[in-house]
Amino acid sequence: MAKALYLPEGYSSALTLRETQHAIKYIKDLFQQTLSFALTLDRVTAPLIVEKGSGINDDLNGVERKVEFTIKEIGNKEAEVVQSLAKWKRMALYRYGYRPGEGIYTDMNAIRRDDDTDNVHSIFVDQWDWEKVITREQRNEEFLKETVKSIVKAILYTKRKVSLRYPVLGTAMSDEVFFVTTQELEDRWPDKTPKEREDLICKEHGTVFIRQIGGKLASGKRHDGRAPDYDDWALNGDLFFWDEVLQRGLEISSMGIRVDEKSLASQLAELGAEDRMQYKFHQMIADGTLPLTIGGGIGQSRLCMLLLDKAHIGEVQASIWPQEMIDKCSAAGITLL
């Protein structure tokens, strides 16, 4: 276990295993309908696998190994399990003919074999991936903030409905979003790590959107890694809620206005990744073929654990865990599915 496992003292699940399963379905059904209405999104079908070398798979921080295999039916052609659908969604909006103000969402399942596991990280990733066509005039900070507020309203509405169905779940959530940049966090707490800064600001404000992730800060360091070819680092961010059970800020969504031809070129150059311009996806951004978009991912299991007052993501999703973690969780009253 490369990351620290947090075992809340005196923890016990507020819901039984069977109640938990019912509640997970209720949250997923309700939230995706609410999100779809709030952002004007259609549900679409998305791939679990893509061709290796297509340029469509997410490279995350550029070092994570993808799950690869060959396909017998296509001459042992190599394929990869997706790590996210950030690029595929933008291509889909183009192929399906979506216009500004319209968008899509889908269930995204991925395997990230190199992720460290802890209370909130699993090698199995499940989230609602969404993407929406915007105009060039909407590529600004104000539009980003308004979209974040719409997502928060959808989460809080779901929270209220869940609390009515399960009154034993009483954790409060702030409905006021506090916006802050990564540079402002570094200026305030220069001696803290990025994760420590996230926890400190979330404890103060409850619901926080941390902006501008990917580029270098004044210190020369990055707050966190972000691929250079989907989010515009000046117009993106992560949405956090204070998790009372875990006593930390819990990231629920990573999102942003996507790169245009200028930000794509500058971000690729900053990371020395100009070779990606060989791919069709990147060329279609550079020549203006792909639409301008905003999009992101919203963690399904993380949202469930937050709304159900769970201490471990393994209480709301079935995955594989180190035996040491299973044993420690069991001893602390945490039952992993």
Q: What is the DSSP string of 259-293?
A: P-HHHHHHHHHHTT-GGGGGSHHHHHHHTT-SPPE
Among the options 84, 254, 300, 317, which is catalytic? 254
CA separation for the pair 330, 335 (Å, rounded): 6
The 10 Å Cβ neighbour count of residue 239 is 22
Residue 148 — very low, low, confident or very high, per pLDDT cuts 50/70/90? very high
pTM beyond 0.85: the answer is: yes
Residue 58 — very low, low, confident or very high, per pLDDT cuts 50/70/90? low
253 catalytic, yes or no? Answer: no
Where are the domains positioned within the chain?
17-331
Residue 225 and residue 61 in contact, taking contact as beta carbons nearer than 8 Å: yes
Among the options 32, 83, 127, 301, which is catalytic? 127
Query: What integer is the mean pLDDT of 12-40?
Result: 95
- Closest residue by Cα to residue 307 from 107, 121, 130, 168: 168
**Structure confidence at residue 227 (pLDDT):** 87
Query: What integer is the mean pLDDT of 221-231?
Result: 90
CA separation for the pair 132, 144 (Å, rounded): 12
199 catalytic, yes or no? Answer: no
With a cut of 90, say whether residue 316 has pLDDT above it.
yes
254 catalytic, yes or no? Answer: yes
Of 79-83, 105-109, 133-137, give the lowest mean pLDDT range. Answer: 79-83
Among the options 83, 84, 112, 186, which is catalytic? 112
Better pLDDT: 110 or 334: 334
Run of H or E residues at 70? strand 68-71
Among the options 199, 251, 309, 315, which is catalytic? 251
58 catalytic, yes or no? Answer: yes
Q: Identify the CATH homologous superfamily for domain 17-331.
A: Bira Bifunctional Protein; Domain 2 (3.30.930.10)
With a cut of 50, say whether residue 19 has pLDDT above it.
yes
**Structure confidence at residue 79 (pLDDT):** 86
With a cut of 70, say whether residue 92 has pLDDT above it.
yes
With a cut of 70, say whether residue 61 has pLDDT above it.
no
Residue 2 — very low, low, confident or very high, per pLDDT cuts 50/70/90? very low
Among the options 32, 36, 58, 115, which is catalytic? 58
Among the options 115, 131, 186, 238, which is catalytic? 238
**Mean pLDDT of all residues in the chain?**
92
Better pLDDT: 4 or 324: 324
- Closest residue by Cα to residue 172 from 306, 34, 33: 306
Cβ-in-10-Å burial (0-12, 13-18, 19+) of 74 comes to exposed
270 catalytic, yes or no? Answer: no
Instruction: Tell me the pLDDT tens digit for each residue of 3-17.
Output: 688 999 999 999 999
CA angle 217, 218, 223 (to 5 degrees): 25
251 catalytic, yes or no? Answer: yes
